């Protein structure tokens, strides 16, 4: 992990980048890593990093944009526990994730220790067919991966969106899957639900 972080810093330094961003790598079975891309913005998954580091990354980005210096050094950042995120979209998993616009007459958001929901929707809410279908990000944190998975299972069971199709049932399948729970996943993992053959 240290070599990957050092490589990310070198990539940002080489282009003179001075703000929040993400450098992504692919890792193979031998733990060799390969550059994938650099995003000069926050990723939609940034809450995962916020929960395991305790750092408000959005606040840090705003301070940098205002011309302030980053007050954190790499040695100030400590990882604590596990975090997982599900993107809850207005999409029908049983129909190749086709968009599912319409009115949400009733909504129940999950809550409790270690559960975070970043969303813009409310009761009632109209999902437009003209924009990206992201409704919410459901993020959980726990001390270890096993508890984090259990916490996500509970949060998904509590999350209710009436009136439209959403990706909640799909995420429930993933978080009940024995291979996923064991951590036996690769880039072909989702094909068991999405491959028509």
**Mean pLDDT confidence for 35-42:** 89
At residue 95, does pLDDT exceed 60? yes
Mean pLDDT of 171-184: 94
Closest CA to 127 of 75, 84, 180, 163: 163
* pLDDT tops 70 at residue 5: yes
Instruction: Give the contacts of 156 (CB within 8 A, at least 6 positions apart).
Output: 86, 110, 138, 168, 171, 172, 175
pLDDT over 90 at 87, yes or no: yes
Q: What distance separates the 2 farthest-apart alpha carbons in the chain? A: 54
Per-residue model confidence (pLDDT) at position 20? 78
Q: Contacts for 167-176 with beta carbons within 8 Å, 24 or more apart?
A: 167/86, 167/87, 167/88, 167/89, 167/91, 167/93, 167/97, 168/88, 169/93, 170/93, 171/86, 171/88, 171/138, 175/149
Q: Are 43 and 61 in contact (CB under 8 A)?
A: no
Q: Which residues are catalytic?
A: 41
Q: Name the residue with higher pLDDT: 95 or 40.
A: 95
As a whole number of angstroms, the distance between CA 47 and CA 35 comes to 23
pTM for the full model?
Answer: 0.85
Q: What local confidence, expressed as pLDDT, does residue 156 receive?
A: 98
Quickly state the pLDDT bin for 197 (edges 50, 70, 90). Answer: low
Cis peptide before 39 (omega within 30 of 0): no
> Which pLDDT score is estimated for 73?
86
pLDDT for the residue 35: 93
- Name, in order, each residue with C-beta under 8 angstroms of 171's C-beta and a sequence gap of 6 or more: 86, 88, 138, 152, 156
pLDDT higher than 80, residue 138: yes
In this predicted structure, what is the pLDDT of residue 107?
A: 97
Question: DSSP string covering 25-42, please?
Answer: EEE-TTS-EEEEEEESS-
- pLDDT tens digits for 42-78? 888 899 999 999 999 999 888 888 889 888 888 999 9
Q: Work out the average pLDDT over 81-104.
A: 95
């Amino acid at each position: 992990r240290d070599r990957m972080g050092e490589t990310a810093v070198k990539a940002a330094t080489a282009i003179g980048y001075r703000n929040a961003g993400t450098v992504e790598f692919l890792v193979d079975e031998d733990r060799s890593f390969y550059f994938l891309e650099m995003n000069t913005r926050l990723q939609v998954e940034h809450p995962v990093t916020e929960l395991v580091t305790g750092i408000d990354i959005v606040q840090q980005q705003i301070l940098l944009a205002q011309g302030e210096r980053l007050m954190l050094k790499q040695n100030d950042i400590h990882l604590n526990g596990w975090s997982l995120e599900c993107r809850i979209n207005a999409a029908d998993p049983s129909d190749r994730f086709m968009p599912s616009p319409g009115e949400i007459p009733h909504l129940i958001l999950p809550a409790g220790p270690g559960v975070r929901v970043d969303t813009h929707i409310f009761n009632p809410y109209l999902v437009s067919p003209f924009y990206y279908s992201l409704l919410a990000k459901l993020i959980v944190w726990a001390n270890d991966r096993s508890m984090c998975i259990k916490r996500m299972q509970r949060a998904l069971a509590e999350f209710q969106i009436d009136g439209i199709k959403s990706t909640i049932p799909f995420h429930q399948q993933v978080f009940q899957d024995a291979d996923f729970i064991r951590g036996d996943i690769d880039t072909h993992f989702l094909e068991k639900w999405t491959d028509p053959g």
